[in-house]
C-alpha cells in the first residue's frame, strides 16, 4: 500500500467517524461511497468500517452510558442479531447495487417526507410508534444491512426519531446498539474471512484519526440545538439516500 492511499483512507475514516460522533450514526454512509472510489477491495472496506464502527461505539459509550434507553434498546438488539446472518448471506447472493439502490430511494422518499412535516422539529413529541413491533422490524433490517453493507445505523436512527428520543438519549442509545450489534458483525465478518492484513494495517493507521474525530464530534454534538436535532437527522437521512443512489449507479 502506498502512503497516499493510507492517507486517503485515514481522511475518509475521520470524516465518517466525525459524522457518527456528532449525530450518532452515518459513518458508513459517508465513508463507504468515498472508499469505493479508492483502489481497495470491497470486502476490505466493509471489514474496515465494521471495525471502525465498533471502535467509535466503544469509546463513545464510556462517556454516555447514563443516557442509554435500555427499554428501547433490547428489542432492536434482539432482532438485529437475527438479521446479521441474513445480511452475511446477502453479500454473496444478492447484487449489492440492486439492494443499495432500493434502499437509497426509500431513504430519499422518507427523509423528504419527514422534513416536510412540522412535527419533526419537536424532540419532546409523545411516543408515536409502537415500541416492540417496530423495534423488532427495524432491528432486523438494521442487522441485515449492517452485516451486509455496514448500514446498520440509518434504520435505528429513523426509529429513534419516530420515537422522539432526546438527542442525549439518541446518541448514547445508538452507540450502545452499535457496540452490541457491531461486535457480532465484526465476529461474523471474521468468520466469513473478510479480514485481511491490508485491512488490519489500514485500521491501525486510522486509529489517530478515529480518536481525533471522537474528540471533535463530542464537542460539535453539544452545540447542536436540541429543538432542531431530529430535523438534522432526517436531513442526513435524505443526503445519505442520495449518496447511496449515486454509489449504486456507479
DSSP 90-121: HHHHS-HHHHHHHHHHHHHHHHHHHHT-GGGG
Q: What is the pLDDT of residues 102-137, one digit of tens each?
A: 778 877 887 787 777 654 444 444 445 556 788 888
Q: What does the pLDDT read at residue 126?
A: 45
Grid coordinates of 140: 432486523
CA 82, CA 234: separation in Å to the nearest integer? Answer: 27
Domains: count for the chain: 1
Q: By mean pLDDT, which of 81-95, 118-132, 143-157, 172-186 is the weakest?
A: 118-132
What residue numbers bound the domain in which 163 lies?
A: 3-249
**Contact of 121 with 4, CB cutoff 8 Å:** no
CA 220, CA 43: separation in Å to the nearest integer? Answer: 32
Give whole-number Cα distances, 70 to 40, 73, 158, 170, in Å.
38, 5, 17, 11
Q: What does the pLDDT read at residue 121?
A: 43
Q: What is the pLDDT of residues 182-236, one digit of tens each?
A: 888 788 878 878 788 999 999 999 999 999 999 998 888 888 887 777 788 788 8
Q: What does the pLDDT read at residue 190?
A: 83
- Rounded to 5°, the CA angle 104-206-101 comes to 10
- Rounded to 5°, the CA angle 106-112-115 comes to 135
Comparing C-alpha atoms, which of 103, 110, 105 is closest to residue 146? 103
pTM comes to 0.74
CA 98, CA 75: separation in Å to the nearest integer? Answer: 28
CA 210 to chain centre: 15
CA 241, CA 232: separation in Å to the nearest integer? Answer: 14
Q: What is the rounded average pLDDT for all residues in the chain?
A: 82
Comparing C-alpha atoms, which of 30, 35, 63 is closest to residue 203? 35
Q: What is the chain's Cα-based Rg?
A: 17
Amino acid at each position: 500500500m502506498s502512503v497516499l492511499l493510507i492517507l486517503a483512507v485515514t481522511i475518509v475514516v475521520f470524516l465518517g467517524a466525525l459524522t457518527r460522533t456528532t449525530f450518532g450514526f452515518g459513518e458508513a454512509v459517508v465513508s463507504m461511497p468515498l472508499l469505493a472510489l479508492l483502489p481497495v477491495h470491497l470486502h476490505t472496506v466493509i471489514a474496515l468500517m465494521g471495525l471502525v464502527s465498533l471502535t467509535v461505539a466503544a469509546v463513545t459509550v464510556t462517556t454516555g452510558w447514563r443516557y442509554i434507553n435500555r427499554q428501547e434498546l433490547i428489542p432492536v438488539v434482539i432482532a438485529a442479531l437475527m438479521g446479521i446472518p441474513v445480511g452475511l448471506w446477502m453479500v454473496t447472493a444478492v447484487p449489492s447495487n440492486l439492494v443499495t439502490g432500493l434502499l437509497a430511494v426509500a431513504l430519499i422518499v422518507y427523509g423528504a417526507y419527514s422534513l416536510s412535516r412540522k412535527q419533526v422539529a419537536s424532540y419532546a413529541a409523545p411516543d408515536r410508534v409502537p415500541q416492540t413491533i417496530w423495534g423488532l422490524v427495524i432491528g432486523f433490517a438494521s442487522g441485515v444491512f449492517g452485516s451486509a453493507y455496514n448500514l446498520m445505523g440509518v434504520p435505528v436512527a429513523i426509529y429513534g426519531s419516530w420515537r422522539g428520543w432526546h438527542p442525549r438519549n439518541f446518541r448514547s442509545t445508538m452507540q450502545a446498539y452499535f457496540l452490541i450489534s457491531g461486535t457480532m458483525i465484526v465476529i461474523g465478518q471474521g468468520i466469513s474471512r473478510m479480514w485481511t492484513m491490508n485491512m488490519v494495517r489500514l485500521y491501525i493507521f486510522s486509529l489517530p484519526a478515529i480518536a481525533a474525530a471522537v474528540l471533535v464530534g463530542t464537542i460539535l454534538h453539544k452545540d447542536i440545538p436540541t429543538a432542531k436535532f431530529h430535523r438534522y437527522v432526517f436531513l442526513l437521512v435524505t443526503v445519505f439516500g442520495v449518496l447511496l443512489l449515486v454509489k449504486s449507479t456507479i
